[in-house]
Amino acid sequence: MIVATVKNIIISILLAFWLGAIAIFSIQNIRMVSLKFLLWDSIELPIGVLLSFCVGGGLIIGSFFPLFLKRTQKKRLRTPKST
């Protein structure tokens, strides 16, 4: 129980640190940029806002990664090894 509490506190501190770092970076870099990918151009956004969207998207995509990892591990356990 204490281990889970300490783990949650450490995760909260790390998350607060990263959010603070992104906020400071956003305030210092207000230059407008446009994201270009193949034929697609985005609207012009400040670098900090664009970075925040990228971090948020990465966190969402990264949260699904363990689900896919578990699925591949279950498939490995089900298929017998042939030698």
Specify the residue for token string 């966190």: 59
- Residue pair 43/34 in contact (Cβ under 8 Å)? The answer is yes
Residue 20 is predicted with a pLDDT of 87
Distance CA(68)–CA(61), nearest Å, equals 11
Output the tens digit of pLDDT for each of the chain's 83 residues.
Answer: 778 888 889 999 998 998 888 788 778 878 888 878 888 888 888 887 888 888 888 989 988 888 877 777 666 666 666 65
Residue 14 is predicted with a pLDDT of 92
For residue 31, the one-letter residue type is R
Residue 79 is predicted with a pLDDT of 64
65 CB contacts (<8 Å, ≥6 apart)?
none
Return the domain boundaries, the chain: 2-77
Residue 75 is predicted with a pLDDT of 67
